[in-house]
């Protein structure tokens, strides 16, 4: 089992990049694991903002114990029941997603390279480095159109938590990446998918 970590700030295009890579591979042998699914059902008070609002861009927002266990299980070829998170209600759904043993997992999320224990289980680590104005614009469109957020709330959250947390916790993850991808991801996705295809063929 190979696990590929894809990290980057909110709006950097992690899911899009993972899907570009996935499209070039045998999808019966590859699955995608979204870190967003592992948000805690209730955000810890100690990470709340000074205004008393949850900080979803802090490492403490995630269920690290469950995430480490699931990645370890997947690495060992076991089936896991991945949680599902509802961003309109900011809560975890009862329905889970079954991820059965495959040869490769694309693991994408803002903190995929943050945890030392998880990094040890990753075979390839990449970081999407995209300018802040582009990331903000993408996040704005996504949260308003897909997550029922108001324009004002998205802007406020960006300055309260997204921007400072990126500078403090997310950007430093670049030092752990095997390679860094810029805004144009097509060529990078083709190069990575070719490398992953080679790994899959070696095990077939």
* Secondary structure (3-state) at 145: helix
Burial class (CB in 10 A: 0-12, 13-18, 19+), 117: exposed
Alpha-carbon distances of 155 from 9, 117, 140, 161, rounded to whole Å: 16, 34, 8, 10
Quick one: tokens of 29?
């042998």
List beta partners, residue 85. 92
pTM: 0.90
Residue 52, φ and ψ in degrees, nearest 5: 85, 20
What confidence tens digit (pLDDT) does each residue in 89-129 have? 888 999 999 999 899 999 999 999 999 999 999 999 999 99
Quick one: tokens of 178?
């095997």
Specify whether the CB–CB gap between 61 and 54 falls below 8 A: yes
What confidence tens digit (pLDDT) does each residue in 24-61 have? 999 999 999 999 999 999 999 999 988 888 899 999 99
Write down the CATH number for the domain with range 2-198: 3.40.50.300
- Number of residues that make up the chain: 204
% of the chain exceeding 70 in pLDDT: 100
């Amino acid at each position: 089992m190979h696990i590929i970590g894809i990290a980057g700030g909110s709006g950097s295009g992690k899911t899009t990049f993972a899907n570009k890579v996935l499209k070039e591979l045998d999808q019966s042998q590859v699955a995608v694991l979204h870190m967003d699914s592992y948000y805690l059902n209730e955000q810890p008070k100690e990470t709340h903002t000074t205004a008393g609002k949850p900080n979803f861009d802090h490492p403490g927002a995630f269920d690290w114990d469950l995430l480490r266990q699931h990645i370890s299980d997947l690495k060992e070829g076991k089936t896991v029941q991945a949680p599902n998170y509802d961003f309109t209600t900011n809560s975890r759904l009862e329905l889970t997603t079954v991820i059965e043993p495959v040869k490769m997992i694309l693991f994408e999320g803002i903190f995929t390279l943050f945890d030392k224990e998880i990094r040890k289980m990753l075979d390839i680590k990449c970081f999407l480095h995209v300018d802040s104005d582009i990331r903000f614009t993408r996040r704005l469109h996504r949260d308003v159109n897909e997550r029922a957020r108001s324009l004002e709330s998205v802007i406020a959250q960006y300055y309260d938590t997204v921007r400072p947390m990126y500078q403090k916790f997310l950007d430093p993850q670049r030092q752990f990446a095997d390679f860094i991808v810029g805004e144009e991801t097509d060529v990078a996705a083709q190069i990575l998918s070719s490398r992953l295809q080679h790994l899959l063929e070696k095990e077939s």
